Amino acid sequence: MITPHRPLAAGVVADHYQELDRLYREVWGEHVHHGLWRTGRESPLQAVEQLTAFVAEQAGVRPGDRVCDIGSGYGASARLVVKWFDAAVTALTIVPAQQAFAEATNPGATNPRYLLRDWLENDLPAGSFDAAYAIESTEHMLDKARAFSEAFRVLKPGGRFAICAWIAAERAKPWEKRNLLEPICREGRLPGMGTETDYRELLAAAGFEVEAAADVSREVRDTWAICVRRAIGRFFTDPAGRAYLLSTASRNSIFAVTLVRIWVAYRTGAMRYLVFRARRPG
Ligand SMILES: C[S@@+](CC[C@H](N)C(=O)[O-])C[C@H]1O[C@@H](n2cnc3c(N)ncnc32)[C@H](O)[C@@H]1O
């Protein structure tokens, strides 16, 4: 497990997404996750929707299922799962701006149900979901063991669980840890970036059977070249964005540098992207 040199302060994850709310949506859109390029010809929007489709497939979502979206961002994947499967989706985020945005996409609607709530204290009933997925949210959780035991608890026996995770190479070189992985954790507000072995062990300890771990690093990594290009474009064309990045009062502007580190980390192999498929036995 790669961890920041100094433990992250409480609240920094929500603060990161709250402060970067506008930047995230302008640079990348409503899906705050990687795109998946199967042919290489997909548009960025097609690529992010393709990743959601892959996750839903890995989570075995079926028509009418009750589904939990753990760390749901702006709710874009949750809305697609409702649309594609007529599923009943509960979506949790800890970021007020994300929940407000999600609610505003269809005011008054109750599916998806958007909760502003910490997954580690989710208070959802046991055995209440057929499927659950976590797209790039478990990296942000300090207590991953609890994150997975909560997923196990809320799933019905036989329930399916898909997790997309930023993964550290098992044997990252010292310079990669020093210049890429540790700063990515610190600047990206990840209290821990696990290896594939870490995730497999944590899932198994929570009671899950891990059925697969698809390495789609090559199919997702173009995300960062696009983000870097768009961020540079905004720097030159958007005075407010430029002022934010240059202001010493900005707490999260360093993430512009992190984008480049992540791009490099995929190229060297220090960072991987895995989609785990797990099942609660029974
Ligand atoms: C990279 S974004 C991914 C968002 C969304 N899954 C998507 O793919 O668009 C990380 C998300 O994890 C959520 N998150 C992080 N820690 C969380 C926690 N303890 N409980 C609930 N959500 C959390 C954040 O609120 C944020 O929405």
Q: Give residue 207's pLDDT.
A: 98
Domains in the chain (CATH in brackets) are 12-279 (3.40.50.150)
Ligand 1 in reach of 137 Cβ (< 6 A) = yes
| CA-proximal residue: ligand 1, atom 26 (nearest) | 73
- At residue 7, the pLDDT reads 87
pLDDT of residue 249: 64
pLDDT at 233: 74
pTM, full prediction = 0.94
Query: What separation in Å is there between the alpha carbon of 97 and the centre of ligand 1?
Result: 12
pLDDT of residue 99: 97
Atom of ligand 1 nearest to the CA of 32: 9
| pLDDT score at 26 | 84
Predicted pLDDT of residue 228: 81
pLDDT less than 50: residues of the chain = none
Going from the Cα of 272 to the center of ligand 1, the distance in angstroms, rounded, reads: 19
User: How far away, in angstroms, is 201 Cα from ligand 1 center?
Assistant: 22
Task: Kindly state if the Cβ of 133 falls inside 6 Å of ligand 1.
Answer: no
C-beta separation of 257 from 232 below 8 A: no
Atom of ligand 1 nearest to the CA of 118: 20
* DSSP per position, 98-125: HHHHHHHHSTT--SSEEEE--GGG--PP
The string of pLDDT tens digits covering residues 234-278 is: 766 777 766 666 666 666 566 677 888 999 999 999 999 999 999
Q: Which of 72, 92, 124, 185 to mutate to test the pocket of ligand 1 (most atoms within 8 A of CB)?
A: 72
Q: What is the pLDDT at residue 253? A: 63
Report the pLDDT value the prediction gives residue 118, as an integer from 0 to 100: 97
Q: Is 114 in the pocket of ligand 1 (CB under 6 A)?
A: no
At residue 193, the 3 state secondary structure works out as strand
Is residue 280 within 6 Å of ligand 1 at its C-beta?
A: no
- Please name the residue ranges forming H helices in the chain: 12-19, 21-27, 44-58, 76-85, 96-105, 144-154, 174-176, 182-188, 196-206, 217-220, 222-237, 239-246, 255-268
